[in-house]
Structure 1
């Protein structure tokens, strides 16, 4: 289905949709919470029941979100002749027997605080169809997670590698001066152009008062080939990271590379395209094998110098769960013979490759000086949290760069620190089974109540020393010496342990260096 003319009409369409309150909040207000919940669960009947009146907004909901057939005359009346005919010329809708039906999705979302409309292929959760090999995804769960993990600070040049329908680039609209988006799939770029044209029209209409829509460059090609030799302040990529055999069943998720080679390719090549201090942000996946550390596997993909990486594993799936999840993603009934055949082939491949599980999560990279040894921190972040990860990623690099500037334990001890205001001290006691009565202390933790909610177990000494820190008070070393004198402890044996604990607490943002706090307050 040719979509090259979709961008010609998307600006006018988005302007119309904005005026009609066809926004995420407008639809929720119109349908009510119950029917809106049904919409996001993929239950069209409940949505249709709440949109039966003859208002323009109910029509738009049935036409664009539920893909109902509607009278062609009513379609032209609500959309206007120019927009309706433009969608027809772009093959975005079809007309038969004076009935019109949308063939693509145009869905409203709130991205980076702005109302935006994403053009993509039809979401299989609402209509009964199996996505084809060239399916272009809209805003999926991985897209939303990655959006939340990317900083929103102002930068000059942003690259969205494998843009699809343009979701990640839209998230950078408020903070980028120039956006470069690439994709190997021409159909995806047609949708992306339509998405950007609509977003530009929305910005021009005054939604983002005083803000100019960034310059957008759309390039076709594989991986980093379209931007060979070019450097960016920020790279964002939601690559086709599905771990499996070297085949392309669906362009949006399958790379044609075996196992986790797609994630390896992106992470190994991204640093070459970053300006000094620039960052890259990716959703990625990696295999787990018996006798092999997943942390070492991911670290081996990076150059030996010039990069710091923060790898956050959000979950691990066993082979059967992983395969079943992705077969359902393409709308295959797990009870069907086709699903059974595909499951056998996929699991056989995993067995031959020794795969015991598949981990997935976020990877953030920062470009360091070429002579700096690469530093990789890979950790598990399986617990739930609500705050977006993007601000934390940006602050993490500030904290780790500060730590890197220190030369040994003595410099750590000479610094002053501030306890993050959101840190809580937890004392956990459990039933005292030895005495058969009361409780006994079990563990003590310092935990953040914001961001990723990092939590560190500490002993009584560390907790007391941390309690004595003040950004305008004594240095860490001085506090330790005073504490050891009061407790009759050997300071020389305590200092290294405290220094190591403080470095870990700074890395996770429970303690903040006083000079960084001062810089932030200026």
Structure 2
């Protein structure tokens, strides 16, 4: 493992030099082409290697060095970055030179969203070294980090906390809408790389060392985001424990403890969003597991299970994540260790999901919504999460009386599907489907279908349901009792919205 890079104000000029050399998202795509660019995004380096082997273009040289981990001649690199020749890159701790060939000590790539582009330094990936990761590896841009970034609510806030910052990816996003960003990590190596990335991108973060919430004892935040070390790893001497993913506790205790404790660090109305795993006992239900963690927190909770794996699938995923695969040294022992640990503790499956917690404003009972959604979702999901939090808080505050007194209308992305036997006059199944957000689909009975057909914001829900009761020859009370839970679900997930105030 290389040493740590040196952070300083002069890194702004390195950022500018990278940009001017075309080492940007668009520049790399133009250099490599779509096929090689997509492969590189999947950490498959061969197509990009083939494209750049004979290139002399500055962006091609930088791709080979910093994104593929290939050595490049010093004379080819020297003129590429204005003001940053090979000697200066060596002094910054970024590269090493041997016999006229320059090799990178870190992965360095552009990264961005719809609004900004940054440059992110992290440790060399397995695809660049061909070796398993070291236990103090600092991860770069991965699937989990981009998932959390996509799901995070992006409303302007005063204080935001990036808990377990790693290389600082979430802090980059937070810097767009938070006045103050606090970034913490237990790994000193990760903090050094976070400092480098802050300086490289011209940002000022409050960076602190310490385990989980210890560095922010007594402080509160408007937004907390965390991709915590949630991976469930057997606690044996032969099992490697990676700092970026293993919290040193048994089972899912890291995520459970964070859920139980983070509420004391949320200001009124404050939100915490994190990723996590949970173990489900044989014959058990994941909702029962997570629901128990929320007792006594006083927080609103929206937990969405996105994936489920059996113990063998889980062992394969995380052994491979560290660079250990079938046929490599120690793989079978690690695999067996995971299976034995899960069997010993009676674990039947492991769930993965996104957890959103909110401290209520004012005195009201917190709400809980634990759902499973494994399909495609909107990107980014942050706006849908924000709308869902607001809708669920409104339902908690206004109750059924408020629902009945409001003239709802179908959201613009809602469609209806009707299915029936060939030649039948009436459908046997009616499905209401959401185009954005979680892509929720609800089976509508006669009453709900009738209500949605007149749901244009002109009648209150109470008025519409009473009219439907007379048409189906049922009491208004019975129709309201039948329809209200369904209507509440549609409101919570954004299929029904209140008309805009004119």
Q: TM-score, normalised by structure 2?
A: 0.94
Alpha-carbon contact 1:9-1:87 (below 8 Å) kept: no
Shift of 1:7: 4.4
Shift of 1:287: 0.5
Alpha-carbon contact 1:9-1:83 (below 8 Å) kept: no
Shift of 1:438: 7.1
Alpha-carbon contact 1:239-1:283 (below 8 Å) kept: yes
In the aligned structure 1, how far is the partner of 2:425 from the partner of 2:43?
A: 49
Q: Which residue of 2 aligns with 1:141?
A: 143
Shift of 1:16: 0.6
Mapped pair 1:394 → 2:386: yes
Shift of 1:390: 0.9
- The change in CA–CA distance for 1:143 and 1:305 in structure 2 (over 3 A counts) is closer
Q: Which residue of 2 aligns with 1:476?
A: 461
Q: Show the 5 A alignment for 1:23-422.
A: 23-51=24-52, 52-80=54-82, 82=84, 84-200=86-202, 215-246=204-235, 249-369=241-361, 372-407=364-399, 409-422=400-413
- The change in CA–CA distance for 1:302 and 1:483 in structure 2 (over 3 A counts) is closer
Q: Which residue of 2 aligns with 1:12?
A: 13
- The change in CA–CA distance for 1:429 and 1:345 in structure 2 (over 3 A counts) is same
- The change in CA–CA distance for 1:124 and 1:336 in structure 2 (over 3 A counts) is closer
In the aligned structure 2, how far is the partner of 1:38 from the partner of 1:395?
A: 35
In the aligned structure 2, how far is the partner of 1:135 from the partner of 1:32?
A: 30
- The change in CA–CA distance for 1:465 and 1:370 in structure 2 (over 3 A counts) is closer
- The change in CA–CA distance for 1:46 and 1:391 in structure 2 (over 3 A counts) is same
Shift of 1:450: 1.3
Q: Which residue of 2 aligns with 1:450?
A: 436
- The change in CA–CA distance for 1:127 and 1:399 in structure 2 (over 3 A counts) is same
Mapped pair 1:464 → 2:453: no
Alpha-carbon contact 2:275-2:354 (below 8 Å) kept: yes
Q: Which residue of 1 aligns with 2:3?
A: 2
Q: Residue 223 of structure 2: SS of its match in structure 1?
A: strand
Q: Which residue of 2 aligns with 1:423?
A: 414
Q: Residue 134 of structure 2: SS of its match in structure 1?
A: coil
In the aligned structure 2, how far is the partner of 1:513 from the partner of 1:348?
A: 53
Alpha-carbon contact 1:233-1:279 (below 8 Å) kept: yes
Mapped pair 1:501 → 2:480: no
In the aligned structure 2, how far is the partner of 1:80 from the partner of 1:89?
A: 16
In the aligned structure 1, how far is the partner of 2:235 from the partner of 2:218?
A: 28
Alpha-carbon contact 1:163-1:182 (below 8 Å) kept: yes
In the aligned structure 2, how far is the partner of 1:97 from the partner of 1:81?
A: 23
- The change in CA–CA distance for 1:495 and 1:347 in structure 2 (over 3 A counts) is same
In the aligned structure 1, how far is the partner of 2:29 from the partner of 2:372?
A: 36
In the aligned structure 1, how far is the partner of 2:476 from the partner of 2:380?
A: 40
- The change in CA–CA distance for 1:43 and 1:401 in structure 2 (over 3 A counts) is closer
Q: Which residue of 2 aligns with 1:511?
A: 496
In the aligned structure 2, how far is the partner of 1:223 from the partner of 1:190?
A: 17
Pairwise CA RMSD: 2.0
Alpha-carbon contact 1:3-1:90 (below 8 Å) kept: no
Listed one character per residue, the Cα deviations across residues 255-287 of structure 1 (whole Å, up to 9, x for unaligned) are 111110111122111111111001011011100
Q: Which residue of 2 aligns with 1:205?
A: none
Alpha-carbon contact 1:289-1:355 (below 8 Å) kept: yes
- The change in CA–CA distance for 1:45 and 1:406 in structure 2 (over 3 A counts) is closer
In the aligned structure 1, how far is the partner of 2:456 from the partner of 2:370?
A: 30
The gaps in structure 1 that reach 5 residues or longer are 201-212, 432-436
Q: Residue 151 of structure 1: SS of its match in structure 2?
A: coil
The gaps in structure 2 that reach 5 residues or longer are none
Q: Residue 309 of structure 1: SS of its match in structure 2?
A: strand
Shift of 1:305: 4.9
Q: TM-score, normalised by structure 1?
A: 0.91
Alpha-carbon contact 2:161-2:225 (below 8 Å) kept: yes
Shift of 1:121: 0.2
In the aligned structure 2, how far is the partner of 1:430 from the partner of 1:268?
A: 51
Alpha-carbon contact 2:431-2:442 (below 8 Å) kept: yes
In the aligned structure 2, how far is the partner of 1:83 from the partner of 1:131?
A: 29
Shift of 1:292: 2.9
- The change in CA–CA distance for 1:410 and 1:71 in structure 2 (over 3 A counts) is closer
Shift of 1:290: 2.3
Alpha-carbon contact 1:112-1:171 (below 8 Å) kept: no
Shift of 1:372: 3.6
Listed one character per residue, the Cα deviations across residues 405-461 of structure 1 (whole Å, up to 9, x for unaligned) are 124x34422222121111101112356xxxxx8798442111111121111111122
Listed one character per residue, the Cα deviations across residues 333-374 of structure 1 (whole Å, up to 9, x for unaligned) are 212351101111111010010011100010001012585433
In the aligned structure 1, how far is the partner of 2:8 from the partner of 2:107?
A: 14
Alpha-carbon contact 2:79-2:85 (below 8 Å) kept: no
- The change in CA–CA distance for 1:83 and 1:177 in structure 2 (over 3 A counts) is farther
